[in-house]
Amino acid sequence: MPHLGPLRRRAWAALLGQLLRPPSTVCTRGCHSQVAKAVLTSEQLKSHQEKPNFVIKVPKGTRDLSPQQMVVREKILDKIISCFKRHGAKGLDTPAFELKEMLTEKYEDNFGLMYDLKDQGGELLSLRYDLTVPFARYLAMNKLKKMKRYQVGKVWRRESPAIAQGRYREFCQCDFDIAGEFDPMIPDAECLRIMCEILSGLQLGDFLIKVNDRRVVDGIFAVCGVPESKLRTICSSMDKLDKMSWEGVRHEMVAKKGLAPEVADRIGDFVQYHGGISLVEDLFKDPRLSQSQLALQGLGDLKLLFEYLRLFGIADKISLDLSLARGLDYYTGVIYEAVLLESPAQAGKETLSVGSVAAGGRYDNLVAQFDPKGHHVPCVGLSIGVERIFYLVEQKMKMSGEKVRTTETQVFVATPQKNFLQERLKIIAELWDAGIKAEMLYKNNPKLLTQLHYCEKADIPLMVIIGEQERNEGVIKLRSVASREEVTINRESLVAEIQKRLSES
């Protein structure tokens, strides 16, 4: 048995041991060939003996996407990418991992959540944490001063996964960013417009985009008396307001981060404000905020932004929300986050809570951090949280009982008789040559009923049937699977007839 070479001594011992067991445990079904059967048996033993507690699974916080899920995923991505292209964005791809030093100092408190690669002798690498930092690295590396790009790809974060809400450690992001020196707030307004277009297009129900400005946040902190050294860490506490009550956040600020209670209370007073352009006007007159030049600059830009949002026809979807902080360290100006107001499932049994489904902001200093000469390329952008949207769409489909086709096969090549493999192979090759999506069963002599069932299960619309009589008469049968209607046509007009039918449907 020369094929059993790779088996180690233990496996041979196992094989020997197996021969003493009842045969029923050895092979549960027929095998493709004698040899396969022999090798299979020993492989089976190998897994039995060497991995008694072997559990097959994917890494924590990750998942496979089944064909059904892939179809839904692709529909969502198509809509998102179409919108990015509608706004003139170019595609970009960057490696899954970056030099570790490229990612350090970009994510403040979240640095420990990075997946590092093992030091295997060479560079120190980490999996990317988002698509924004690699984009900034790309701009600096290629000395690009402006670019409107989109990127779709996986990112990895070692957070506690909350899979029920669509939070994974490996997840897909869809990013759109505008880099370059432009007149204030025009690209920022376009980013918000894109978020609206995508969320409307995906029909996830009513949504709201919360807007704030990092300078307003920092200005509030300053006038409330947050010490400069605590600005970023207090900001990252405030970012938890979407998952935590103000009481919880206040406790973290005071007990964990050593903020004076009265300072926290002053912040608490501000974070309750939200509203439209009139709130911006009111805040301009706030005697406390007027002490901060930063806050006034932020408010000035927000006022302009709301003017552009009105012209873009989306002002009603946007709300200034002083509690919005955004956790990432690199934002410098406007920040935003989209939340669903009423999930599409609320009419049904379950209540779905998925947090924000899209977010972004302005980051004017990130590119300079990569450039050896510190050249400055202001950027603004957004990221769509596909996983959460996917979760909602999937739930919605489950509740409506909507069926998903996982293949696109148009024609099935069948026979009611034995010994028609040759004809089926020739016919299907002819269909493939014509670009027609076609399948057949990989059996020499399949039963007609099995073939019909396959078509019905896979929702294949057309069936080509070849048998003795058809072959002798130079004809072929074409069957509509849904209506069960059959017509007999000339063998040579098969492709043309199928193409005609497909173009009509």
Residues belonging to the binding site for L-histidine are 130-132, 157, 173, 177, 326, 330-331
Interface with its own copies includes 221 (CB under 8 A)?
A: yes
From the list 80, 131, 133, 178, which residue makes contact with its own copies (rule: CB under 8 A)?
178
Alpha-carbon torsion angle 123, 129, 132, 138, nearest 10: 10
Interface with its own copies includes 141 (CB under 8 A)?
A: yes
H-type helices in 286-410, by residue range? 293-311, 366-370, 386-400
Interface with its own copies includes 160 (CB under 8 A)?
A: no
Sign of the torsion angle spanned by Cα atoms 323, 324, 325, 331 = negative
Convert 338-352 into a string of H (helix), E (strand) and C (coil).
Answer: EEECCCCCCCCCCCC
Give the residue from 35, 46, 34 showing the smallest Cα distance to 6.
46
Give the interface segment with its own copies, choosing from 254-262, 363-371, 463-471, 489-497 (CB under 8 A). Answer: 363-371
Give the interface segment with its own copies, choosing from 54-62, 271-279, 320-328, 343-351 (CB under 8 A). Answer: 54-62
Radius of gyration from C-alpha coordinates of the chain: 30
Structure tokens at 321: 């929300």
From the list 21, 51, 243, 418, which residue makes contact with its own copies (rule: CB under 8 A)?
51
From the list 22, 23, 30, 401, which residue makes contact with its own copies (rule: CB under 8 A)?
30
From the list 438, 466, 476, 478, which residue makes contact with its own copies (rule: CB under 8 A)?
438
Interface with its own copies includes 503 (CB under 8 A)?
A: no
Structure tokens at 97: 């991992």
> Using an 8 Å Cβ cutoff, are 332 and 362 in contact?
yes
From the list 123, 269, 316, 468, which residue makes contact with its own copies (rule: CB under 8 A)?
123
Interface with its own copies includes 228 (CB under 8 A)?
A: yes
Q: Which residue number, 92 or 264, has a Cβ lying nearer to its own copies?
A: 92
From the list 125, 133, 328, 393, which residue makes contact with its own copies (rule: CB under 8 A)?
125
Interacting residues with its own copies between 190 and 209 (CB under 8 A)? 190, 193, 197
Q: What's the full length of the chain, in residues?
A: 505
Interface with its own copies includes 484 (CB under 8 A)?
A: no
Structure tokens at 368: 């300079």
> How many binding residues for its own copies (CB under 8 A)?
144
Q: Which residue number, 103 or 343, has a Cβ lying nearer to its own copies?
A: 103
End-to-end CA distance of the chain: 56
Q: Which residue number, 300 or 348, has a Cβ lying nearer to its own copies?
A: 300
**Euclidean distance between CA atoms 177 and 156, whole angstroms:** 20
H-type helices in 312-420, by residue range? 366-370, 386-400
DSSP-derived secondary structure letter, 244:
S
Q: How far is the CB of 146 from its own copies (least distance, A)?
A: 9
Q: Which residue number, 57 or 349, has a Cβ lying nearer to its own copies?
A: 57
**Euclidean distance between CA atoms 318 and 47, whole angstroms:** 58
Interface with its own copies includes 374 (CB under 8 A)?
A: yes
Structure tokens at 268: 């608490």
According to DSSP, the residues that pair with 476 across neighbouring strands are 489
List all residues 6 or more positions away from 60 whose beta carbon is below 8 Å from its beta carbon.
Answer: 161, 169
Give the residue from 226, 169, 209 showing the smallest Cα distance to 238.
226
Main-chain dihedrals φ then ψ at residue 486, nearest 5 degrees: -120, 135
Interface with its own copies includes 162 (CB under 8 A)?
A: no
Give the interface segment with its own copies, choosing from 61-69, 203-211, 275-283, 393-401 (CB under 8 A). Answer: 61-69
From the list 22, 23, 24, 59, which residue makes contact with its own copies (rule: CB under 8 A)?
59
Interface with its own copies includes 258 (CB under 8 A)?
A: no
Alpha-carbon torsion angle 37, 43, 48, 54, nearest 10: -130
Q: Which residue number, 110 or 369, has a Cβ lying nearer to its own copies?
A: 369
From the list 166, 219, 344, 385, which residue makes contact with its own copies (rule: CB under 8 A)?
219
From the list 20, 24, 34, 347, which residue makes contact with its own copies (rule: CB under 8 A)?
34
Pattern 307-336, its own copies, x by CB under 8 A = -x--xxx---------------x--xx---
Interacting residues with its own copies between 269 and 298 (CB under 8 A)? 292, 294, 297
From the list 15, 63, 251, 461, which residue makes contact with its own copies (rule: CB under 8 A)?
63
